[in-house]
Amino acid sequence: MDFDRMLQYCAQLEAHNERPWFHENHKQYEAARKDYLELLEITRFAIAESAPQLANDILYGQAKDWMYRIARDMRYHHNQPPYNPAFRAYISPDRKSWLPIGYFLRISHGSSYFGTGLWCESTADTNRIRDYIQEYFEEFDGLLQECPISLSGEQLKTMPKGYSADHPAAHLVKYKYWEIIHPIPDSDLTTFADFDQMIRTITAQMEPVRLFLLKAARSKPSQKQIYQTFYRL
């Protein structure tokens, strides 16, 4: 495994993001991809130790099934280069679903990170999470205060319909999705032993927030929430 090989390949692909170059350098891609798959094996065990409730779901999965394709689907990325110059994976039993919530790992020159979060597939689901956050605001706020990594994600400019700006959770309700991300500078990608320890530490810090979001995602709307959601749509 070689961090430099992964980072250098991503930097070169970013500089030569075109199909002829990609195919001419396919052997380099395969070598860097192999490094990343081996890195996912390390990450799997590091997460499992710090997030035991997720362990059984990821210890027996296939690392290659967590990876996203490096080629962009040009049907949805018009006027963009054909490749995403990064190795990316969502470490979860189901990469294509937002549940159960897992962890994601991106390795790319100058823009690597590790994190977790919750992204809903519909407005109704997003509002259900907002309702849960409002109901259990004190618990969620306490977890965020204890986590050294700040909550991030895109926010609405105004309050979503049906929610009050006077509620103490208003700043959290304005999020379109909720995530916590730890950037990883290239200088921290040195040895795999250090990387393993870093992922264990970061996962332990993020895990309480992930578990709260998982409870929110699996919560059932009350009759009042169903009624409110109906009129928000």
186-213: pLDDT as tens digits = 999 999 999 999 999 999 999 999 999 9
| Dist. CA 110–CA 10, nearest whole Å | 9
Q: Give residue 230's pLDDT.
A: 55
Taking CA atoms, 121 is separated from 95, 161, 177, 215, in Å, by: 14, 18, 10, 17
63-112: pLDDT as tens digits = 999 999 999 886 666 778 999 999 999 998 876 777 789 999 999 999 99
| Dist. CA 138–CA 134, nearest whole Å | 9
What is the band of 183 on the pLDDT scale with cuts at 50, 70, 90? very high
Indicate the residue type of 196: D
Could you give the residue ranges of the DSSP H alpha helices within 136-222? 137-146, 170-173, 192-218
For the entire predicted model, the pTM comes to 0.90
